[in-house]
């Protein structure tokens, strides 16, 4: 984790987090293997991995680290290893340093051919603790 100037946002230094992750998911079978998520009315799933945490500045922060569009017909099994986040994990301030409780969850938005657009959160989640110090070396 580094403390870096976010050039796209407000001109103050904010914490930038670096996370690598593995995702294994079997979207075809629901929680009990009974639900079929990809039924005739499902056009695509918009999957996203988000990090949720609290800081001194903000009671709730959510940052999408990675997303993927899975169309009906695509391979419903995900087996991704050593992924780097697609989007910069900038905090609004310096709340990542020493933050022990960052929860990563995989969720998805079901996009039907027509009808309701539900957001579903996967049942598994992972806790990621950030160290107390900043990295000075370019290890990313």
Partner 1 sequence: QLYYQVSNFGMIVSSALMIWKGLMVVTGSESPIVVVLSGSMEPAFHRGDLLFLTNRIEDPIRVGEIVVFRIEGREIPIVHRVLKIHEKQNGDIKFLTKGDNNAVDDRGLYKQGQHWLEKKDVVGRARGFVPYIGIVTILMNDYPKFKYAVLFLLGLFVLVHRE
User: What CA–CA distance (Å, rounded) separates 93 from 95?
Assistant: 6
Measured from the CB atom, the residue of 7 and 136 that comes closer to partner 1 is 7
Measured from the CB atom, the residue of 88 and 134 that comes closer to partner 1 is 88
- Residue 77 host element (H or E): strand 77-84
Which residues in 22-61 contact partner 1 (CB under 8 A)? 43-44, 46, 48, 50, 57-61
- For residue 26, give every residue at least 6 positions away whose Cβ sits within 8 Å of its Cβ, in sequence order, or none: 76, 77, 78
Measured from the CB atom, the residue of 58 and 136 that comes closer to partner 1 is 58
Q: Which of 64, 83, 126, 128 binds partner 1 (CB under 8 A)?
A: 64
117 binds partner 1 per the rule CB under 8 A: yes
Quote the distance between the C-alpha of residue 73 and its chain's center: 23
Sequence-separated contacts (24+) of 137-140 with Cβ below 8 Å:
140/18, 140/84
Q: What residues line the site for partner 1 (CB under 8 A)?
A: 8-10, 43-44, 46, 48, 50, 57-64, 67, 69, 71, 87, 92, 107, 109, 111-117, 119
């Amino acid at each position: 984790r580094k403390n870096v100037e976010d050039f796209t946002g407000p001109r103050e230094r904010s914490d930038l987090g670096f996370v690598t992750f593995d995702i294994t998911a079997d979207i075809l079978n629901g929680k009990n293997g009974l639900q079929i998520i990809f039924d005739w009315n499902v056009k695509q799933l918009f999957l996203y991995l988000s990090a949720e945490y609290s800081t001194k500045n903000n009671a709730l922060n959510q940052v999408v680290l990675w997303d993927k569009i899975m169309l009906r017909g695509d391979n419903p099994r995900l087996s991704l290893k050593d992924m780097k986040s697609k989007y910069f994990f900038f905090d609004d301030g310096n709340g990542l340093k020493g933050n022990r409780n960052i929860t990563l969850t995989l969720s998805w938005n079901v996009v039907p051919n027509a009808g309701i657009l539900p957001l579903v959160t996967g049942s598994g989640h992972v806790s990621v603790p950030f160290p107390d110090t900043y990295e000075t070396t370019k290890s990313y």
